Structure 1
C-alpha cells in the first residue's frame, strides 16, 4: 500500500519543503507506515476528504469498530481495564486489538502517530492471556493495558528520533521507563507524533501536523501533541509524554485530557533522548502520564515508585509515593489554602480560560474545606527571557546541523523558539551565569510563594484554549513552572470555547504587546468546541501532596 492509499487529514499552512534527499526520505517513511495498515482499517475517502470540525465521534460511527471494541475503548480507564483483564471479563488480545484499531482511525483524522505495530501488540497480548490462563495470576498491575509512547522515547525494535529525520534510528533495547512498564504487563502498540526539535507547543513534524480532535482547525499542542490527540480520540487511555516547557501540560490542556508534569527526576528518564539535550544544562526535563483520570495518573506513579528506578538511574529522587485518596479533610485539619493566579502580569488569558478559572473558584468556594486566595505570580517576564536563552546555550547551532544533515527545512516555530538565543553560543562561564540567575530566581520565587501563604496554585495552562496552527508562541503559563521546577497537573473542566464572536475581552487594557497580540489572535480564530483545562501546581518535590490535594478537590472540580 502506498502513502497515497492512507489519506491523513491535514489543516493549516503547508509544511515547508526540503531538499530532494529530505523529501525522498520523508516519502519513504510515509510509505513504510502505510504498508502496515490493512485496507479494512482505512476510512472512506468522503470522511478524510471532507472531515467535520469535531472528529471525536468518527471512530464510533465509521463502522470499522465492533460494538464490543467501542465499549472497550470508551467505557474504561486504565485502572478499570486492568481489573477487567485480571478478572477475565476481557482478554488482553481483545483490548489490544480494539485500541490498535482505534489508534489507526485516530491517526487518519489527526496525524497523531509516527509508528503503528498492531501485530506485535496482539502477539504480546496472547502471551499475557496464556500466562493468566495457566497461572491464574497477572504478571503485574498493568497486565494487558495498552500504552502509547512518544516518538523520541526508545522502545526496543522501533524507531525513534530526537526531532530531526537525520537522527531517526531503530532502538535495540527499551529505555528504563519502558522496561518498567513492560515488566508490569503493559502492551505497546504505537508511537506518537512530536514536533521538529521536540521544542514546539505544536506538533509539526515530517510526518505531518497533529490536529486537535475537538476542532481540527486548532493545534493539538506540543511537544507531546500526538499523545494528547490520540488519548482525546480514545485511541489510547494512557500515554507517556515529556515536558521541559509545557510539553505534557500544553497538549493535555489543548485536547481536554489529564496530564502530569512531576518535579524533575521524580520519574526515570534514563536513555530517553539519544545524545541528551543541551537545554538540560540548566532546565531539567520531566516525564509524566497523559490519560483520562486522576486514578490512572496515580496508578502510573505507583507503578514507577514500586520499581525503585533510582537503583538503575541514581538521578531519580527516591521519594515515597504516599498519596491519600480520601475526598474528605480529616476532622480538625486546617482547610486547604488555594491561590488563584488569574494572569501572569504579561498576558491576560482569553475569555474561555477566565471562565474555566472562575468556574473552578466558584466550585471550591462552596466548601469550607477550601480557603480561596488571590495569588500573584512572580517575575514571569524575567523567567521567560532567561528560559528561552537557557534552552539553546549553543545559539541554536546543533539544530541547524541536524537539519542540514538531510536538507530538512527549518519549520516556523523552530525559528521562533531559537531566535532570542541565535548566535555563537555560550562559554562555560556563560552557562554558569545562567544557572546562578536561575537559582537566585528560584529562591525569590519560593519566598514570594511563602509570603502569600498557599498550599497550591491554580492558574491557566495556556493563554486560552488550543491555538490555531503555527501560533503557539507564548509558553508563559507552563514554562514558568519548568524554570522553578514545580510539579503541575492539568485537569479538564466543563467549560468549552464558544463560537467566534460570542465572547469578547477588548474592554480591558492589554498588559503588554504580547497581550495585544493574543487579543488579535482571539479575534481572528474560530475556537468553537475547544476544551478548557486548568492547571494545579505545588511546590518542588511536593508531588505526592499535590495528588492528595487533588483527591480532596475531586468532588468539587468533578475530577474523574
Structure 2
C-alpha cells in the first residue's frame, strides 16, 4: 500500500514554467506539505474525485472535534472575542480549531500559502496567561485568529507579490499587523493571491484557489485565498487589499462581507516590499473581510483607535463612528441595474431586483427612497484605469516574473494588455493621466449629484464567480477605485441556478457585454453566491456604515 501524500484539489492547474522553475516550485510546496500532520489529510478519493460544492465538507472527515466545529461555525470574530474573554473557550482552543479547519479548507480549495499553527498556539497561550493574570483581555480581538493575505508582512513569515521571484522573509510586522497584534489578534496562516496581485482570480506559484461553492469557478482575486478560507469557516476575520476590486470581488464570489474604504483611511505602511507604479494615480485600500457587519466595524474601529496617522502622515485622521453613525432619513438610494457598459448576467439581475423589491416595501418608506441610477461613463473609466495601472507598460513585472523561469499567467497578460503597447511612460504622460483621472472624477461627482442620491446599490461583478481564467471585466468594482469611493459588499439569498437565460429582449451594450453573455452561455455557475455592492461618497465611510445599519433589517444582513 502506497502511503498517501499531502495534496490539494486543482480542477485546472496553473501553467508550467521551465524545468528549473518547476523544481524550485515543487520544493516550496513540499516544504509546506512537510509541516502538515498526516491526521489532517483528507481522503485521497476526495482529492481525486471532488464534488462540485465542497463548502460543507470540512466537518465530514472526522478531523474536527464537535467543539472545534462549534467554535468555527457558531461565532463571528466579535462573538469569539467575547467567548474567550468570558473563558467559555481558551484562546489556545480557538486557534487550534481554526488552524485545523484552515488546513482542511486548503486541501479543498488551495487557499493558503503559509500555515504556522505552532507559532499561533504560542501566541494564544500568552493571551490566555494575560487574561488569567490581569482579569481583562488584551484588546477587542483578544485571542481571535486572524488570517492575512500573503503579501502583508508578518514578522517571521514570508511575503510575495504572488510570483516566485518576489518571495522575501520578513523580519518585522507591517503597521496594520502590529496594530492587530496589539488588539489581541492571533496570526496562524497567510492566504493565496494572484501572480502580480492584479487578477480577479487568485492563481500563483502556490496553485489556483477554487470557489468553495463550485470548484470550477474562481474564488476571486486578489484576496481570493482569504475569501475562500472565510467561506469555508477556516477563518472568522481576514484582511484584504483593493485597487480594482480585490476585497469586494472575492468577497462577492464567495458570499462573505468585505469593505474597501476610501484610500488613506486604514494603515498600509510597509504593506508591500516595494513601490507599485499604479499608485501614481490609483491608490490601494486595505480593509476587513469577514462574516458580519459588526466584524467589519470592529476591525475598522480598532485600527483607527490606534491613531495610525501619527506614524504614517499619508493617512487621513478619522474618528470612527461606523454602524452608530446617525443618518438623514429617508436615505436616497440609487439602484444600478447595469453600468451602461456591461449588462450583468441573469442571477445578478435577479439579486438587484430582489433588493429593489425589498427596498420598495411601503413599510420602509420613512427609511429609504429609491430611484434608478446609471453611473457616469463606465466604459471610459475601464479604459482609463487599465492603462493607468501600468504606467511602465507592465514590463517591470514581466521581467521580474520571467527571470526565474515562471510563466506569465493568462490573466496577467490580459490586465496589462492595453498598457503594454505604450511601454514605459514619461513623467509628462503620467501627469496627463492624472489630469484625465481628475476630470473623470469631477464629471462622475456631477453626474451623481444630478441624480440626487446618497448611496448606491448594485452589482459587484458582471456575474457570479467567473469560470477559471475568465475574470476579464472588473468594471463594477474598479470604477470605485478610480473615483476613490468606499464600498461594502454584502451577501444576498440569491444563488446562480442551472438553466438561467438572458432576457429575450437583451441587447448588447458593448463588445465586452457580448463577451460576458457568451461566457455565461458557455459556463456552469450553479450554486455560486451573489452579493451586492453598496457605495458611498469619498470620505463618507462612516456615513456608509450608518446606512448599512439602516439597511440591515431591510436586506436581512447579519
Scaled to the shorter chain, the TM-score interval is over 0.9
Q: Which residue in the other structure is 2:258 paired with?
A: 259
Q: Which residue in the other structure is 2:5 paired with?
A: 5
* Alpha carbons 2:144, 2:186 under 8 Å: kept: yes
1:441 is the counterpart of 2:448: no
Task: Return the match for 2:344 from 341, 345, 349.
Answer: 349
1:72 is the counterpart of 2:71: yes
Q: Which residue in the other structure is 1:128 paired with?
A: 127
Alignment of 1:49-198 (within 5 A): 49-198=48-197
Structure 1: distance between partners of 2:397 and 2:3: 28
Structure 2: distance between partners of 1:68 and 1:411: 41
Q: 1:164 and 1:3, CA in 2 relative to 1: closer, same or farther beyond 3 A?
A: farther
Structure 1: distance between partners of 2:505 and 2:192: 39
Q: Which residue in the other structure is 1:276 paired with?
A: 275
Q: Which residue in the other structure is 2:358 paired with?
A: 363
Q: Which residue in the other structure is 1:556 paired with?
A: 554
Q: Which residue in the other structure is 2:386 paired with?
A: 388
Q: Which residue in the other structure is 1:408 paired with?
A: 406
SS in 2 for 1:528: coil
- Measured after TM superposition, the shift of residue 323 of structure 1 is 2.7
- Measured after TM superposition, the shift of residue 325 of structure 1 is 3.4
* Alpha carbons 2:402, 2:408 under 8 Å: kept: no
Structure 2: distance between partners of 1:412 and 1:506: 33
SS in 2 for 1:346: coil
- Measured after TM superposition, the shift of residue 131 of structure 1 is 1.0
Q: TM-score, length-normalised on structure 1?
A: 0.97
- Measured after TM superposition, the shift of residue 322 of structure 1 is 1.6
Structure 2: distance between partners of 1:124 and 1:386: 46
Structure 1: distance between partners of 2:183 and 2:22: 40
* Alpha carbons 1:3, 1:31 under 8 Å: kept: no
Task: Return the match for 1:377 from 375, 378, 385.
Answer: 375
Alignment of 1:524-543 (within 5 A): 524-543=522-541
* Alpha carbons 1:224, 1:242 under 8 Å: kept: yes
Q: TM-score, length-normalised on structure 2?
A: 0.97
Q: Which residue in the other structure is 1:511 paired with?
A: 509
SS in 2 for 1:241: strand
Q: Which residue in the other structure is 1:315 paired with?
A: 314
Write out per-residue CA displacement over residues 98-147 of structure 1, whole angstroms, 9 at most, x where no aligned residue. Answer: 00000000000000000000111011101110111111111111100000
* Alpha carbons 2:297, 2:323 under 8 Å: kept: no
Runs of 4+ in 1 over 2 A off after TM superposition: 323-326, 502-507
- Measured after TM superposition, the shift of residue 433 of structure 1 is 0.2
Segments of structure 1 that go 5 or more residues without pairing to the other structure are none
RMSD after superposition: 1.3
Segments of structure 2 that go 5 or more residues without pairing to the other structure are none
- Measured after TM superposition, the shift of residue 504 of structure 1 is 3.3
How many residue pairs were aligned? 553
